[in-house]
Amino acid sequence: MTGESLNLIRRSSHLNIEILIVSEKHLILGSTSPFRAQLMRNAGLTFTTDKAVIDERAIEASLEGSDLDGADVATVLALAKADEVSSRNSSAYVIGSDQTLTLNGQAFHKPSDMEGARRHLLKLSGQTHCLNSAVCMVKDGQNLWQHMSVAYLTMRELSPEFIGRHLSEVGDAALTSVGAYQLEGPGVQLFDKIEGDYFTILGLPLLPLLDALREHDIIDG
């Protein structure tokens, strides 16, 4: 058995029977992102998923005018997601995560349509942008651990014609990420240089997360 278990022995006053009740630590990914869930499954983790019910854009709007940068915003959103899911799942260990993309101080969000994806790629073309990936772990509203990783990605100079062909090839998958690309697929062809951890780019700094799970005896060390 992995993780910490709570063993309670109850004895029946009539039958003198001992019953061993085992309660494992419950791990929840506070997201319905198929990419993050696949990363955790590939790592051999056992967990459930629960989508956080928060208004991300409203939270970001409330932070405007502050000194928080893209990395700070990602951390705030990751904690907000984990807190919300934790409030509905007593005693569970909830993983919250968020990723922001910034270019010269401008924050990017997932494009809402293919025209938005095209504009994203035109702005990122020939530039170096930052991917800020935050992850945290919350239990019963208490922040047990948090981590931030940053990756720097330099995109090639892309012609409008190439962007059009690329988006036609990848289709609606372009709408599922803040940069309108997936590095694990054809999106890798967009780049000249990448500096940073692969899992950070995919939106979940997996190695620090696994360390934290071991430290809290949720997985074997």
Share of the chain above pLDDT 90, in %: 74
Q: What residues make up the domain containing 205?
A: 5-215
Query: Is pLDDT above 90 for 61?
Result: no
Query: Is pLDDT above 50 for 7?
Result: no
Task: State the pLDDT at residue 24.
Answer: 65
Share of the chain above pLDDT 70, in %: 89
**Could you tell me if residue 194 is inside a domain?**
yes
Secondary structure element (H or E) that encloses residue 36, with its range = helix 34-42
**Could you tell me if residue 220 is inside a domain?**
no
Residues serving a catalytic function are 98
Structure tokens at 176: 């599922």
DSSP readout, 4-31? -EEEEEEE-TTT--EEEEEEEPPEEES-
**Could you tell me if residue 221 is inside a domain?**
no
H helices then E strands: how many in the chain? 7, 9
Query: Is pLDDT above 50 for 91?
Result: yes
**Could you tell me if residue 72 is inside a domain?**
yes
Q: What is the pLDDT of residues 139-173, one digit of tens each?
A: 999 999 999 999 999 999 999 999 999 999 999 99
Rounded CA separation 147/212 (Å): 10
pTM reported for the whole predicted model: 0.82
Rounded CA separation 2/5 (Å): 8
**Could you tell me if residue 164 is inside a domain?**
yes
**Could you tell me if residue 168 is inside a domain?**
yes
Secondary structure element (H or E) that encloses residue 192, with its range = strand 191-195
The CATH code of the domain that includes 55 is: 3.90.950.10
Rounded CA separation 125/117 (Å): 12
Task: State the pLDDT at residue 17.
Answer: 40
Q: pLDDT averaged over the chain?
A: 88
Q: What is the pLDDT of residues 70-85, one digit of tens each?
A: 999 999 999 999 999 9
Query: Is pLDDT above 60 for 134?
Result: yes
Q: How many domains does the chain have?
A: 1
Task: State the pLDDT at residue 10.
Answer: 37
**Could you tell me if residue 159 is inside a domain?**
yes
Structure tokens at 81: 């997601």
> Closest Cα to residue 91, out of 139, 141, 142, 47?
139
